[in-house]
Structure 1
Amino acid sequence: MITDKPSYEELEHKIKVLEKQVAAHQQAEEALEESEHPFRAFLDNLGDAAYETDSLGNVTYANKMGEIITGLPLKDIIGKSFLPLFAGEHQKTAIDVFQRTLDGESPEYELTFINGTICHFKNEPLRNEQGKIVGVFGIARDITNRKRTEEALHIAHDHLERRVEQLTVELTKKSKQMEQEIQEKKEVSKELKESEERYRTIFQGAAEGVIVADIETKKFRYVNPAMSRMLGYTEEELVRMRVDDVHPKEALDMVILEFEAQAQGEKTLAESIPCLRKDGATIYADIKTTNMVIDGKECNVGFFTDITKRKHAEQELRERETALEIQAEELQEVNTALRVLLRQRDKDKIELEEKVFLNVRELVMPQVEKLKKTILDARQKAYLGVLESNLNEIISPFAHRLSSKYSTLTPTEIQMAFLIRDGKTTKEIAELLNLSGRTVESHRQSIRMKMGIRNRKANLRSHLLSM
């Protein structure tokens, strides 16, 4: 097959046409570069990362901020797939939004680079002159700090929510406690009011006089009706008076010393304090005190017990004691005289006993001996025996012991005790004393009782012999 070859002129013409086209293309590229230069400069200085990819996902452009945000140099980014730039769990989302952009969408989303930087992305389809989508253009804004701030705010918000909830619970509890405290305070206030009324009633109705005095000024602040009655002043008059207005002048130094000692807590009771009534009479009181603060003032609360009657009674008692002491001295003198007389009586008694003893022994007993030598019948002999026995007992120690120890024995019982001691039977005693046997037994029983012999088996004669 034979074809016509272009001539030299035709080739030269085509070359010139091509040269013109190349020149025009170069001019267009230069014009494009010049038009793109401000745009590139803008992107390079943009505060966000700008990027372009082709339809396969290879990065064809990235500005300087892309290097900063990803932490990788541009040479490791441009010309390579965008996918390794993202953390594994974010790569699926990156592929999805890339495909959606190629499909004509303009998605906005958030992804995290492998260095941990979190960015907000906005993609736009990249089209050629014919409007065909040939890649992706996008802007990535670093929102790591914002995210961390949001996370911190979220944590803080959660913490705040929990704290608010906790505080709400605490405030609710506190509110209930406050309500309870308020109720308790109301009850306490009510009780205090009732207590105040009770104490006021007690204060007003107390039998003892009560004065509340300012320790510093010694001026009376409160008095009760009993104190008013005790001193004869009205309550209004007393609250205008001072301590030194209700005591005798001659006792003021002592009263002031007692008041100050009580005010300093050195003592709580002042006894027998003279008080001056409105009518000029002096009464006496025991004053028991306690200190307390009233309206910011140190006060001395004194409880006055009127002891005037007791004081007078004590004076009368002292006078009676003095009189009794005088009487006692007189009685002592009389008692001394009586003791002298009793000693003299005892002495006279001893002398009398000695005289009786001598007279019986020297005058009577010789006559009894003479009678015993005369002719006597049995009855006379018995009487003589009794007489002799009694005389012997009179001058014997037994008679003295018996009469002194058992002073309640009658003369007949003493005589019978001698006969029992001598071993006389009831019948013999009855004949000697001319008594019946029953009478003798009655005397024997009386002697036993007076001598304290309770046991019936105890022998009366043995007891008498033991004396």
Structure 2
Amino acid sequence: MPAPPSCDALLQKIAGLEAQNRTLSLFKASLHAARESMALLNIEGKFVAVNESFAAGLGYSREELLGMEAVKLKPKRLQAEFKQGFALIKEQGHFSLATTYLQKDGTPIACEMSATLVQFGKESVIHVVVKDATKRNGRECLQRRFENILSLSKDLIAYVDTDYIYQFVNEHFCQSQGKQQDQIIGSSIAEIVGEEPFLQIIQPQIDHCLGGNIVRYQDWITCKSSGRRFKAVTYYPDRTVHGHIQGVFAIIHDLTDSKLVQEVKDAEQALLSHVLDSIGGGVYLVSRDHAILYSNSHLEKTRGPVNNRNCYEYIFNRKAPCPWCKNSLLFSNEEPIHWLHQDNKTDRVYDVFESMVELPKGGKAKITFFHDVSTSKRAQEELLSHNMLLSALVENTTSIIYVKDLEGRYLFANKRFEELFNSFGSIAGKTDFDCFPKKDAEQFLENDKEVVATGEVCSFEETLFYEGVERTYISVKFPIVDSEGVCYAVGGITTDITIQKSIEQVLADKNEQLLSLINATPDSICFKDGKGRWLLANEANLKLFELIDVNYVGKTDAQLSRYSDFYRDAFLTCQDTDELAWKQKVLLHGIEKIPMSDGRVKIFDVIKVPLFHQDGSRKGLLVIGRDISELIDSIEEIRVKSKEVQEANIALRVLVDQQKNIVEQTGQNLLANLRHTVLPYVELLSRTDLDDISREYLQLITVHLQEITNSFVKTLGDPSIGLSPKELLVADLVKQGKSSADISRLLGLTQRTVEVYRNIIRKKLRISGKKINLQRYLNEKFS
């Protein structure tokens, strides 16, 4: 396998592709913005791009032309000629010809076509510019009419260009020179009249006229046919619509006979009026002070007679000169002005050309040509806005948008398509087999055929592996038909729904889990929408109302009550309490009794939770009911048992009080017996001769007998304290103030052992580690 390209190589390739794409984008923008009719053909001669002017001129939409072979627009008799020219451009890179195209309705239209081969990277396209020759032919026809008119004039009339070459002469001019028309046209003035007269007399006057001036002079002129004659010569500068001078009209009038003087003036006036009246827009002549000196027939037809009104009154119906008037500027600079005027009062737009002219009797005036272009201007703006909006929508959407012809070749694809699936240049002319695996391409083609066959909008769920991941798309495909309803292409809008499909699957799993959960609970659960219609109910709820085999979704309580007369009242009660929850707009908690068909009555603890949209409208209702029938029975049973226990407690309390009195009486009897029968003998024993230890034991016995009535031993011997018998003895001796040595001697223990017992006692009394005297603590707590 070849080594993969390096990162730098890829970056260079990407940069080259981006530069090529920018160039192509600029080229396309220029193409669509051009006023001339332009189109791009691929090397096979099919349209890949056309501007609006081209499509409109032929009566097609741009979409109809894309992918069409250009030769199909030609009459059959000219198709061979076109193919020859098309082959020629591949060799020479350019060709031009006058030809004929067929409009969509079959009408032939004369055109001038020029084609140039353009290279975009490795791909070649042919740039075609088409000019409507009908206007030129019209001008030629008008020129022939002028020639016929001028040929009738007895004046010598000629037209020379800026190189002093005759472009037109009338018959009388030819007769005066003794030459045929074809001998004069194309020749210079010097060649016809001679070098000396041209340089000394004619050239200076023509140069002055080419400077923008009307030139008049009278002189003796020698003609070959009539000899020397005194003639009046007038040179008129010929200006383009943009004010550029492109030649000179020469009118030579023979003044030898004074009668011809008036005829010359009449001819000049007739010629000028005819020319001005032939112009499609308005033309008027005004003085420096805005007085209208002349208006053409078009202006008077649209605005009526002038009636001595000024231009601002006549044209714009104003009482004072217009704020935008350029009279002062024009009369000062005498430079032609071309501008667009927006009339805010009428919301009209005019294309205006103004220039200075010299009046026959002296002085200057402004001549204004204006044409209403509101409709075309507004149409252009609306079309541009619509195209920009449509282009922005198509190119910035995350959906894939494309158009294919009936052969499956792409006519158009938006930027998103090329970002995802096409990194090899223009998609135009390619098929799905060029961009996708064969299996996917075949499926896409079958879907396209179904759209064409049915003639309807169809939706398809299509899958495609992209970057190693299976993606799911929803494609909406639709037929694109011509004006006769014949399908010629298929459009498509494809949206990636992979994430949505994953979410749907997750939601389906969650719903299944939720359904399993609510079906597993013994509680009765029901979800309703904002209109009280059942959306979901668990099995416990359906069993409760015997709706297991009923399609309950979308039905209200009232509708469900028709399935069971027995539960009708229960359903209607539920409907009433639902409405109460809606109105209160809070969680509703209550007890409801529902009779069963077996005669039992079940008691439910019901919670109703109303849900609302942000605007306060009803969204849904959650109803949860728990069967508390057994709980109620248990509570009743507990109440009965509680009463019985309470009565037993009263009897037990009487027995306890009686036992307490018996214990107290027994204690008193015991104490009385100790005082009368034991203590006297102890007193007698203390008077006998005893050794020291015996006497000390006797003292201890005496103390214990005296304290037997107190609670020290009883309290200190509490099991919760946990002192052993030996520890009790030690604690008792400590309480009496005995030292460790005394306790050691009395109990026969070592002093070390006594200290261990003392520490154990402190620990069990929970005073270990505290600065508390053990003897004082025992006397305070256990006396």
Distance (Å, rounded) in 1 between the aligned partners of 2:547 and 2:379: 68
Greater percentage in helix: 1
1:176 matches 2:391: yes
Distance (Å, rounded) in 1 between the aligned partners of 2:664 and 2:234: 160
2:216 to 97, 100, 116: 97
2:265 to 131, 137, 146: 137
Describe how 1:280-319 pairs up with structure 2 within 5 A. 310-311=626-627, 314-319=628-633
Q: What secondary structure sits across from 2:351 in the alignment?
A: helix
2:551 to 221, 230, 235: 235
Q: Which amino acid aligns with 2:645?
A: L
Q: Which amino acid aligns with 2:548?
A: G
8 Å Cα contact 1:232/1:278 also seen in 2: no
1:390 to 686, 700, 704: 704
1:425 to 730, 736, 739: 739
8 Å Cα contact 2:612/2:619 also seen in 1: yes
Distance (Å, rounded) in 2 between the aligned partners of 1:328 and 1:268: 34
1:251 to 570, 580, 584: 570
Once the two structures are overlaid, the 10-residue window that deviates more, 340-349 or 268-277, is 268-277
Aligned to 1:452: 766
Distance (Å, rounded) in 2 between the aligned partners of 1:260 and 1:448: 72
1:366 to 663, 666, 680: 680
Compared with structure 1, are the counterparts of its residues 418 and 154 closer, same or farther at alpha carbon in structure 2 (3 Å cutoff)? Answer: closer
Compared with structure 1, are the counterparts of its residues 356 and 98 closer, same or farther at alpha carbon in structure 2 (3 Å cutoff)? Answer: farther
Q: Which amino acid aligns with 2:390?
A: S
Note the residue ranges of structure 2 that are not aligned, 5 or more in a row. Answer: 1-207, 222-229, 240-248, 274-282, 286-294, 300-310, 316-337, 342-349, 353-370, 401-475, 477-492, 519-524
8 Å Cα contact 1:108/1:122 also seen in 2: yes
Q: Deviations over 1:84-132 (max 9, x none)?
A: xxxxx99x97761354997455766799xxxxxxxxx997736355999
Compared with structure 1, are the counterparts of its residues 176 and 440 closer, same or farther at alpha carbon in structure 2 (3 Å cutoff)? Answer: same
Q: What secondary structure sits across from 1:137 in the alignment?
A: helix
Describe how 1:5-404 pairs up with structure 2 within 5 A. 96-99=215-218, 103-105=231-233, 125=253, 127-129=255-257, 137-138=265-266, 140=269, 143-144=284-285, 145-146=295-296, 153-155=350-352, 166-179=381-394, 183=399, 207=515, 231-235=547-551, 242-245=559-562, 246=564, 248-258=567-577, 260-261=579-580, 310-311=626-627, 314-396=628-710, 398-399=712-713, 402=716
8 Å Cα contact 1:386/1:432 also seen in 2: no
Q: Deviations over 1:39-92 (max 9, x none)?
A: xxxxxxxxxxxxxxxxxxxxxxxxxxxxxxxxxxxxxxxxxxxxxxxxxx99x9
Alpha-carbon shift at residue 442 of structure 1 (Å): 5.0
8 Å Cα contact 1:289/1:301 also seen in 2: yes
8 Å Cα contact 1:126/1:137 also seen in 2: no
Compared with structure 1, are the counterparts of its residues 190 and 282 closer, same or farther at alpha carbon in structure 2 (3 Å cutoff)? Answer: farther
Alpha-carbon shift at residue 334 of structure 1 (Å): 3.5
Compared with structure 1, are the counterparts of its residues 343 and 223 closer, same or farther at alpha carbon in structure 2 (3 Å cutoff)? Answer: closer
Distance (Å, rounded) in 1 between the aligned partners of 2:594 and 2:659: 61
Alpha-carbon shift at residue 276 of structure 1 (Å): 10
8 Å Cα contact 2:727/2:757 also seen in 1: yes
Compared with structure 1, are the counterparts of its residues 340 and 403 closer, same or farther at alpha carbon in structure 2 (3 Å cutoff)? Answer: farther
Q: Which amino acid aligns with 1:394?
A: I
8 Å Cα contact 1:291/1:299 also seen in 2: yes
- Which has the higher relative contact order, 1 or 2, with Cα contacts under 8 A spaced 6 or more apart? 1
Q: What secondary structure sits across from 2:643 in the alignment?
A: helix
Compared with structure 1, are the counterparts of its residues 398 and 176 closer, same or farther at alpha carbon in structure 2 (3 Å cutoff)? Answer: same
8 Å Cα contact 2:215/2:234 also seen in 1: no
Compared with structure 1, are the counterparts of its residues 360 and 225 closer, same or farther at alpha carbon in structure 2 (3 Å cutoff)? Answer: closer
Distance (Å, rounded) in 2 between the aligned partners of 1:301 and 1:187: 35
Distance (Å, rounded) in 2 between the aligned partners of 1:462 and 1:323: 56
8 Å Cα contact 2:216/2:232 also seen in 1: no
Once the two structures are overlaid, the 10-residue window that deviates more, 92-101 or 388-397, is 92-101
Distance (Å, rounded) in 2 between the aligned partners of 1:349 and 1:188: 95
Alpha-carbon shift at residue 425 of structure 1 (Å): 3.4
Q: What secondary structure sits across from 1:375 in the alignment?
A: coil
Compared with structure 1, are the counterparts of its residues 299 and 259 closer, same or farther at alpha carbon in structure 2 (3 Å cutoff)? Answer: same
8 Å Cα contact 1:406/1:450 also seen in 2: no
8 Å Cα contact 2:232/2:255 also seen in 1: no
Alpha-carbon shift at residue 372 of structure 1 (Å): 1.4
Q: What secondary structure sits across from 1:373 in the alignment?
A: coil
Compared with structure 1, are the counterparts of its residues 304 and 326 closer, same or farther at alpha carbon in structure 2 (3 Å cutoff)? Answer: closer
Note the residue ranges of structure 1 that are not aligned, 5 or more in a row. Answer: 1-88, 112-120, 293-297
Q: What secondary structure sits across from 1:231 in the alignment?
A: coil
8 Å Cα contact 1:426/1:441 also seen in 2: yes
Larger Rg: 1
8 Å Cα contact 1:231/1:277 also seen in 2: no
Compared with structure 1, are the counterparts of its residues 159 and 276 closer, same or farther at alpha carbon in structure 2 (3 Å cutoff)? Answer: farther
Compared with structure 1, are the counterparts of its residues 287 and 199 closer, same or farther at alpha carbon in structure 2 (3 Å cutoff)? Answer: farther
Q: What secondary structure sits across from 2:768 in the alignment?
A: coil
8 Å Cα contact 2:534/2:553 also seen in 1: no
Say how many residue pairs are matched.
356
Distance (Å, rounded) in 2 between the aligned partners of 1:126 and 1:322: 141
Q: What secondary structure sits across from 2:253 in the alignment?
A: strand
Q: Which amino acid aligns with 2:255?
A: R
Compared with structure 1, are the counterparts of its residues 174 and 212 closer, same or farther at alpha carbon in structure 2 (3 Å cutoff)? Answer: same
Greater percentage in strand: 2
Distance (Å, rounded) in 1 between the aligned partners of 2:609 and 2:645: 43
Please provide the CA RMSD for this pair. Answer: 5.8
